Structure 1
């Protein structure tokens, strides 16, 4: 995948609710078969807690090969095994990195004011890219996802706090992947917290939104703003 695909990364944006210039940027990455508008409401839910944050939910670079209704993918899924997740996430990482660089530059911000939030395949990209940024983002949140290449975490940064939220009844990405991700991150020296939510399948509910909002509010405390 060429970095020229970065021109395809665009999606709905929310300006800071305060009306002031953005002091933080929250990038929300959707799951397989969805698109940016599918998750931008997370930003709306968090605007009250983060009034100076800008939000963007980019569409993934590729349309689904069999989908006529606009669904998109960060990378193709055929085998749906750990090796495919690792290789796919690695391939698209430069595309997402370029988009993040452009968005931060546009807002005159740096990675200390950046948070990445992802759902399912978007969570894979959050971990793949966020843990390998040259400068650590303020926060990483993964909902209903997994950590690509969990056994190959050489060269990651260890300063970004990570929140993992997963439904115990998830029948798409089993919740043991969340536990494996936390263990791998802990072994690599990354600060992480895990919440397994009872009665929840492959989705984000109000509990998850509240956890995410509180996590971002803490990460973007006075000592992390520009």
Structure 2
């Protein structure tokens, strides 16, 4: 049975949401860790609803926190197995939240930190309908070699990483860019000078701008039927 997940929410400031932003927290945290970012962004995105679900499992390393999947840091394949096993619960949650707000699947943005960024990339790129955007902080792309066969969509992506990250070293950012590029998936990136494993003000500013731009209604060009 797919475990049900839930977490704190912020409704759209303008009432009826026209898009949904889902935060995916890191290993050992929970949904309360990132929902405050929604409170900061919502003034610039008043038509967006925000939700930050708690991952489905208790974290062995931090019993008061949660995990999307267990980590021993000894098994090189555990991340691959982990994102695959955690995907059904997250997909079900995303579908339910979109239905709650009566939104189409392309009005979804995923924002992940660390392990949550791994989930955002893994799940977002395999959704039948592309999310409007994926924003990953201090994460990594799990099994980039599988993307050519498994990716179903190519949403715009922004990856943000701390230059001095000692949990997920900055090399993971460049590896992710290479993997996404090889699969012909567009990606932007920002390196935060002097930052460790975290999110700084500039990363939040750039992330908010990226999502605001991604959620703007696309203009359709009209061809005039009149002849000179």
SS of the equivalent of 2:185 reads coil
Runs of 5+ unmatched residues, structure 2? 220-228
> Is structure 2 residue 200 aligned with structure 1 residue 194?
no
Equivalences for 1:145-156 in 2 at 5 Å? 145-153=139-147, 154-156=149-151
* Rg larger for: 2
8 Å CA contact 2:28, 2:61 repeated in 1? no
The correspondence for 2:30, drawn from 32, 35, 49, is 35
The correspondence for 1:129, drawn from 123, 126, 143, is 123
Equivalences for 1:168-183 in 2 at 5 Å? 168-183=163-178
CA distance in 2, matches of 1:155, 1:178: 20
For 1:163, the equivalent position in structure 2 comes to 158
The correspondence for 1:21, drawn from 16, 20, 30, is 16
SS of the equivalent of 1:102 reads helix
8 Å CA contact 2:129, 2:153 repeated in 1? no
For 1:12, the equivalent position in structure 2 comes to 8
For 1:55, the equivalent position in structure 2 comes to 50
The correspondence for 2:215, drawn from 208, 217, 220, is 220
Shift of 1:130: 0.3
8 Å CA contact 1:158, 1:188 repeated in 2? no
Shift of 1:65: 2.4
CA distance in 2, matches of 1:210, 1:87: 33
CA distance in 2, matches of 1:94, 1:26: 19
SS of the equivalent of 1:141 reads strand
TM-score (norm 1): 0.93
CA distance in 1, matches of 2:154, 2:83: 21
CA distance in 1, matches of 2:106, 2:74: 33
8 Å CA contact 1:158, 1:189 repeated in 2? no
The list of structure 1 runs, each at least 4 consecutive aligned residues, that deviate by more than 6 angstroms after superposition, is none
Aligned-residue CA RMSD (Å): 1.3
Higher relative contact order (CA 8 A, sep 6+): 1
TM-score (norm 2): 0.92
CA distance in 2, matches of 1:99, 1:87: 20
> Is structure 2 residue 108 aligned with structure 1 residue 139?
no
SS of the equivalent of 2:77 reads helix
For 2:224, the equivalent position in structure 1 comes to none
> Is structure 2 residue 180 aligned with structure 1 residue 185?
yes
CA distance in 2, matches of 1:113, 1:82: 34
For 1:109, the equivalent position in structure 2 comes to 103
> Is structure 2 residue 206 aligned with structure 1 residue 211?
yes
